[in-house]
Structure 1
Amino acid sequence: MNTVSDPNEATAIAAAGQTRAAEAVRVKLSPDGFAIDHPDQELGEQLMAEALGVADRDAMHGILRQLVKASVNGQKPDAVNLAFMISMVKSIKPRDAVEAMLVAQMVSVHVMAMRCAYHLANADDIARQDSAARALGRLARTFPAQMEALNRYRNNGEPAITVQNVRVGDGGNAIVGNVTQHRSVIVSDSSGATAVTDA
């Protein structure tokens, strides 16, 4: 008989089991569409919704449907592409529906950019090279703009201000390290530097 005497150990075992279950949740493609591939369908849908950063089943299915369509390779959805896209969304950890939509767009733009890079590398003539190069350039510019939008949204619309090339005169004080400012607070993430607040 396996018993756990320590309540903290029991909690850790349960958390490890949930982590494995969260990692195991996948999407299974079929000719009729897709389904959550998990032994417990309800838990699988809940875990997928949490991973995608959405609050309910309808939003989760909507984001997944859009990712399935964006994963198409040739004429049908690509399971490997879809698994990659879902994994990237999970790793960015969207915190609400707005972030979930933006992150799904970011992942899709990345996949399309890589397809354009492939087409550019394998283009046979100048027209195809030009077309792939233009598309790749647009997508490559879109991705950092999306990252900036996500960062701005996560910081409540406040742009981060980065200061470079600071000159300090005699007797002055300076912070050495990375400094980010939001509204009236300056924070230094340098381990040896002192943080300055209420700038």
Structure 2
Amino acid sequence: MTTAPDITAPAMAAAPGQSQTPTVLRLKLSPHGVSIDHPDPERGEALMLNALGVADRDAMDGILRQLVKASVNGGRADKVNLAFMISMVKSIRPRDSVEAMLVAQMVSVHVMAMRCAKHLAHANDLAQHDSAARALGRLARTFPAQLEALSRYRSQSEPVITVQNVSVADGGNAIVGNVTQHANVIVSDQPPASTALSAPKPARARRRRNSADAKRDAQA
């Protein structure tokens, strides 16, 4: 397994007469395979590794080859589709290999859904219309499910903060027990209890009044 180059170091300044390093990541397609279109191959590889959220060259090559195959239109890889897919992956910013695979599926599903929408718009008969509509419906339902899965996975990796000794101002409600904050949600392990003193029960108050009245009657 080949490790990723270091991308934390600042890029070298371009020499006079040379253009600055482009920030847009693109792929170069050839009969021999796919390569990163960047004037500095090592720097381009580091940027692509960071954009995909993977840790080594093998994972990067696998994700890129899968995206190339998913971009195929008319029997050949589509450069426009591929550039769009790479841009979308980069904007979602996968943080590890699991997210990289899920995000690659998401952008591929979107491209296929738009392709089905095109077929639906150009359907010549009822059979083509129904086939494209069914495929578009399935893909349209798949995408939000993938988005929800990505959100759940990311929320599980967020740090959990436990807060104790919570102080409450007058008129507020205290939370008894440990409080866990996770994904911007605070959950208590016990129900909230009011900080104000609980008022005496009506029956107890009546018994006290009756006892006082009885003492006054006896003294009279």
| TM-score calculated relative to the size of structure 2 | 0.64
CA distance in 1, matches of 2:12, 2:84: 23
1:145 is aligned with what amino acid?
Answer: A
CA distance in 1, matches of 2:22, 2:134: 39
Correspondence 1:51-130 to 2 at 5 A: 51-130=51-130
What displacement does 1:23 show?
Answer: 1.7
Distance 1:140 1:16, change over 3 A: farther
CA distance in 2, matches of 1:105, 1:186: 27
- Identity of counterpart residues, as a percentage? 71
1:82 is aligned with what amino acid?
Answer: L
CA distance in 1, matches of 2:75, 2:12: 39
Aligned: 1:185 with 2:181: yes
Alignment check: 8 A CA contact 1:53 1:99 kept: yes
- SS of the aligned residue for 2:84 comes to helix
Between the two proteins, the alignment pairs up a number of residues equal to 157
Aligned: 1:28 with 2:18: no
Aligned: 1:40 with 2:31: no
Alignment check: 8 A CA contact 2:25 2:86 kept: no
Cα RMSD (Å):
2.7
- Superposed CA deviations along residues 16-74 of structure 1, whole A, max 9, x for unmatched, are 979x7462331011122211111111111111010011111111111000000000001
- Specify the alignment match of 1:4 in structure 2: none
Mind listing any 5+ residue stretches in structure 1 that lack a counterpart?
1-13, 159-170, 174-182, 189-195
Distance 1:133 1:16, change over 3 A: farther
4+ residue runs over 3 A deviation: 14-18, 196-199
CA distance in 1, matches of 2:109, 2:82: 13
Distance 1:149 1:88, change over 3 A: same
| TM-score calculated relative to the size of structure 1 | 0.71
Alignment check: 8 A CA contact 1:29 1:35 kept: yes
What displacement does 1:185 show?
Answer: 2.8
The structure with more helix, counted as a fraction of residues: 1
2:136 is aligned with what amino acid?
Answer: L
Alignment check: 8 A CA contact 2:53 2:100 kept: yes
Distance 1:186 1:156, change over 3 A: closer
- Superposed CA deviations along residues 112-171 of structure 1, whole A, max 9, x for unmatched, are 00000000010000000000000000000000000000000001189xxxxxxxxxxxx9
CA distance in 1, matches of 2:182, 2:24: 41
CA distance in 2, matches of 1:152, 1:35: 33
CA distance in 2, matches of 1:78, 1:48: 19
Distance 1:172 1:129, change over 3 A: farther
- SS of the aligned residue for 2:54 comes to coil
